[in-house]
Amino acid sequence: MKRHEFLTLFGISAGTVVFAPFLSSCTSSKIPVNTGSNPVKVAAPEFTLDLTLPDNSALNRNGGSLIKNGIIVAHTSSGAFIAVASACPHQGANVSFDNANSRFHCSRHGSNFGANGSLINGPATTALKLYSVRLAGNLLSIYS
């Protein structure tokens, strides 16, 4: 059997053989969003929360919050979603969302952080990492 007959038998064209190695490069965690001459890649979300699920119901009311994967996600009284690292930079206790004062509070030693994670007072000496959020329908995605 000649090479051409063998490849044809298995439905393999020369193009398939040439481009197959490049197809595996599409498994990056970055998602191409523009295939023009200057493609832009957007990071995949850290995680996505389905707000219709009971486990995420705390986020369906203003002032509610939950912690997942080391990130605290809160629904502010103005209806915005915010997300910051949940571990206090002082000694690692989880912070909570203080909706009345629109800030994050660490009850272990009293550090406070703004809604954007900025340090208000210590003993912590650094801010909480701020994450981006995007709501699409009932899906809330958290990005680095």
Which CB atom, from 59 or from 128, has the smaller least distance to ligand FES? 128
Q: Does 134 bind ligand FES (CB under 6 A)?
A: no
108 in contact with ligand FES (CB under 6 A): yes
Cα gap 64→77, rounded to integer Å: 9
Q: Does 123 bind ligand FES (CB under 6 A)?
A: yes
Nearer to ligand FES, 39 or 92 (CB): 92
What x/- string results for residues 8 through 47 when contact with ligand FES is judged by CB under 6 A? ----------------------------------------
DSSP state of 53: S
Q: Which is nearer to ligand FES, 90 or 129 (CB)?
A: 90
Shortest distance (Å) from residue 106 CB to ligand FES: 3
CB of 94 to ligand FES, least distance (A): 9
Burial code of 53-88, b = ≥16 C-beta within 10 A, e = fewer? eeebebbeeeebbbbeeebbbbbbeeeebbbbbbbb
Measured distance CA(84)–CA(103) in Å, rounded: 11
Give the β-pairing of 41-43 and 30-32.
antiparallel
